[in-house]
């Protein structure tokens, strides 16, 4: 979400209190990322090492390969480092 | 009218007792000790229903107060000097989480060298912590402002903590006749606290969540707005209190300012001495006045400007030093407030009374004479004067 789309001080609850439980799902943290992991489906053998190593829960299991949830992936690169098939490349984010 | 003999500390404790506080968490420190000592006696004797939390430090005291306040409770604590310094980080959390805690502070010098006597260096060091700050002149004011502080803090437009500051020993330990209200009158004036939100398992909320660059600024802006609301809310609180107690309060108290050409501006008990000297000088046809700020944070800029702008010379008395700054904190604020005015007095700063050094009528007279000289010549030779220090 772009900064200008977020609520301003007049509409936010005071004291930074969160009135709704489970609201962190709405808080997309993927915009911290400087590099994005890109999966090459052809190389992926679905071994799920990346799924195990991901310190968030940003690797999503599909039938035959994995996908990355960019809403939450912070681009740490652990998945790319651990992939035994070199199927994940870290690509610089463009503004 | 019921007059009882109370020291400043006892007057605060008595006001807290009548304010039906739910939780007190505090750690004793001179010269505040009697506030919590007296209050713990009320608890032990069953005179109040308050939960008294004994803690191992002031940091814990303020932490416990924050938690208690978030449950919707009315909360009081008290401290001074090193204790306030130890609380420092929690002071910001109390204001940031919008906890309307009331704290009695018997102002005392900060170590080193260690000293237990009164000056304002403790609270002045915490002046940016987001707390409303009130300074009182005598035990009566300590009593009245403690009661009013709860009403101000808990107002839905404010929701900020308040410190009620009284000069260590000069006020905290001096007994005066204090006109106290009936218990029922205080209960009716204060009512029960109506929190905007509480930490209740039945309706869960998250408090103290991480706030990154995309949200933090907005919450600080909210705190600024709450501070801006204070003078307006305080006017109503003062007015309502006048209705029940018959005593007039506001953001500041002016003496002789109708025709004064020079004046002293100060906080706390010094105002009494300054007024006595001003009265004497006015009998000698000197046009002098005194302005005492009750409210220091938020700084009542508009009222200060209106009170001071027609003066020829003004002495601002700081009972604390801001090392390396152009002036003491109070004087810096006064100069900033006057800065945009076309019409304004020559201002000079007087640093006085550090570590509880007495300020006597002759000292105040010296300051008035200096101000009169500046009014006549239009020249400030010494922008910061250290009153009563040995060379």
Mean pLDDT, range B288-306, rounded to an integer: 98
Which pLDDT band holds residue B47 (cuts at 50, 70, 90)? Answer: very high
- Model confidence at B379, pLDDT cuts 50, 70, 90, reads very high
Q: Is A28 on the interface with B (CB under 8 A)?
A: no
pLDDT, average across residues A69-81: 97
- pTM greater than 0.80: yes
What is the value of ipTM here, to two decimals?
0.89
pLDDT tier, A4 (very low <50, low <70, confident <90, very high otherwise) = low
Q: Which of residues 42-71 of A touch B (CB under 8 A)?
A: none
Distance between CA atoms of B39 and B9, rounded to whole angstroms? 10
Reduce the DSSP state of residue B337 to 3 states and report it.
Answer: helix
Other beta carbons within 10 angstroms of residue B24's beta carbon come to 28
pLDDT-derived band of residue A2, with 50, 70 and 90 as boundaries? low
Site from A5, A12, A15 to mutate, B interface, most B CB atoms within 10 angstroms: A15
How many angstroms separate the CA atoms of B82 and B111, rounded? Answer: 7
CA distance A47 to B257: 84
Fold observed for domain A30-95: Alpha-Beta Plaits (3.30.70)
Go through B97-128 and write b for each residue having 16 or more CB atoms within 10 A of its CB, e for each that does not. bbbbbbbbbbbbbbeeeebbbbbbbbbbbbbe
- Is the pLDDT confidence value at B376 over 90? yes
Domains for chain B: give ranges and CATH numbers: 2-245 (3.40.50.970), 253-386 (3.40.50.920)
What is the C-alpha to C-alpha distance for residues B10 and B36, in angstroms, rounded to an integer? 9
B197 contacts chain A (CB < 8 A): yes
Nearest neighbour of B214 by CB, restricted to A3, A16, A21: A3
Q: Cβ(A58)–Cβ(A29) under 8 Å? A: no
Report strand pairing: B175-180 vs A66-68. unpaired
CA-to-CA distance for B40 and B45, rounded, in angstroms? Answer: 9
Which one of B204, B206, B218 has the shortest CB-CB distance to A12?
Answer: B218
Return the sign of the alpha-carbon dihedral for residues B171, B177, B182, B185. Answer: negative
* A35 contacts: CB under 8 Å, gap ≥ 6: A75, A77, A90, A91, A92, A93
SS3 content of chain B, % helix, strand, coil (to 5): 40, 20, 40
Q: Does residue A11 belong to the interface with chain B, where contact is any CB pair within 8 Å? A: no
The most distant pair of C-alpha atoms in chain B lies apart, rounded to whole Å, by 70
pLDDT tens-place string over residues B84-114: 999 999 999 999 999 999 999 999 999 999 9
**Coarse DSSP helix, strand, coil percentages of chain A, rounded to the nearest 5 percent:** 25, 20, 60
All structural domains of chain A with their residue ranges: 30-95
pLDDT of residue A22: 81
Paired residues of B26 in beta bridges:
B54
């Amino acid at each position: 979400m772009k900064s200008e789309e977020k609520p301003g001080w007049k509409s936010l609850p005071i004291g930074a209190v969160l009135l709704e439980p489970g609201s962190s799902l709405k808080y997309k943290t993927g915009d911290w990322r400087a590099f994005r992991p890109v999966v090459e489906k052809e190389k992926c053998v679905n071994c799920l090492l990346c799924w195990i190593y991901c310190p968030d829960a940003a690797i999503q299991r599909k039938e035959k390969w994995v996908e990355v949830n960019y809403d939450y992936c912070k681009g740490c690169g652990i998945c790319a480092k651990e992939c035994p098939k070199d199927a994940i490349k870290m690509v610089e984010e463009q503004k | 009218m019921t007059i009882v003999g109370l020291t400043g500390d006892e007057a605060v404790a008595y006001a807290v007792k009548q304010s039906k506080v739910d939780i007190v968490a505090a750690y004793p420190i001179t010269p505040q000790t009697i506030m919590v000592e007296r209050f713990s006696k009320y608890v032990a004797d069953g005179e109040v229903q308050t939960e008294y939390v004994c803690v191992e430090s002031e940091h814990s005291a303020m932490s416990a107060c924050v938690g208690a306040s978030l449950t919707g409770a009315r909360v009081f604590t008290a401290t001074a000097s090193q204790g306030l310094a130890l609380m420092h980080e929690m002071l910001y959390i109390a204001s940031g989480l919008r906890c309307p805690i009331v704290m009695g502070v018997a102002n005392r010098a900060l170590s080193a060298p260690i000293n237990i006597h009164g000056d304002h260096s403790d609270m002045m060091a915490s002046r940016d912590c987001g707390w409303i700050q009130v300074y009182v002149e005598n035990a009566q004011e300590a009593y009245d402002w403690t009661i009013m502080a709860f009403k101000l803090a808990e107002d839905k437009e404010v929701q900020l903590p308040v410190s009620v500051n009284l000069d260590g020993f000069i006020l905290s330990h001096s007994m005066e006749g204090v006109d106290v209200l009936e218990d029922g009158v205080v209960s009716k004036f204060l009512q029960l606290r109506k929190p905007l939100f509480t930490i209740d398992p039945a309706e869960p909320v998250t408090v103290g969540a991480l706030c990154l660059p995309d949200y933090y600024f907005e919450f600080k802006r909210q705190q600024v707005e709450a501070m801006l609301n204070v003078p307006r809310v305080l006017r109503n609180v003062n007015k309502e209190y006048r209705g029940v107690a018959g005593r007039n309060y506001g953001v500041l108290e002016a003496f002789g300012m109708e025709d004064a050409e020079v004046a002293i501006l100060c906080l706390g008990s010094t105002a009494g001495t300054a007024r006595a000297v001003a009265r004497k000088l006015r009998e000698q046809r000197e046009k002098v006045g005194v302005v005492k700020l009750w409210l220091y944070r938020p700084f009542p800029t508009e009222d200060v400007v209106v009170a001071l702008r027609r003066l020829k010379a003004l002495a601002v008395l700081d009972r604390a030093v801001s090392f390396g700054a152009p002036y003491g904190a109070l004087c810096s604020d006064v100069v900033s407030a006057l800065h945009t005015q076309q019409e304004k007095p020559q201002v000079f700063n007087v640093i006085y009374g550090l570590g509880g050094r007495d300020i006597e009528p002759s000292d105040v007279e010296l300051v008035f004479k200096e101000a009169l000289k500046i009014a006549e010549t239009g020249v400030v030779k010494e922008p910061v004067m250290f009153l009563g220090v040995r060379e």
